[in-house]
Structure 1
Amino acid sequence: MIRIKLMGALAHLAGSREIYIEVDKPKTVDEILKEIVKGYDRLHDKIIMVNGKVARGDVIVKDGDEIKVMPVLSGG
């Protein structure tokens, strides 16, 4: 099982802040997030962490991993 924690607009688009999914084979972060976050392809400014380390969307995750995704915030 993979634990996915979403922050800000990502949680709103997915309808939840935390999601657990079963995977039958390793997948990339982007593949998983495209399945659960509506409009994920249009969100370019985000920080992805896998198991507490900054990662890219092409990182392959497997059973037992944790993904955390948060939008980049900017102020002015």
Structure 2
Amino acid sequence: MVNESKQYDVILDAREDRCPMPLLKAKMALSKMEVGGLLSISTCDSGSLKDIPQYVSLMGFTLLSLTTDNGVFTFEIKK
């Protein structure tokens, strides 16, 4: 579940998407965000467990949290 008390700049629901779409959607959203912005993306694609953290690290962003709830992976990313 997404922590509702946080103020996100972008919230993406990619639960119906398969690889590579969750990563591509995250990339597109992050490219449009200001530095310091917060992104929340939810996906059911298990490939995202590797792809998204790897991309976040490569770009120098911060993965604030990764939660799992009934097969839904939710990433909180700070640009």
TM-score computed with the length of structure 2 as normaliser: 0.34
Question: Whose RCO is larger (CA < 8 A, sep 6+)?
Answer: 1
Identify the structure with the greater helix proportion: 2
Structure number with larger C-alpha Rg: 1
TM-score computed with the length of structure 1 as normaliser: 0.34
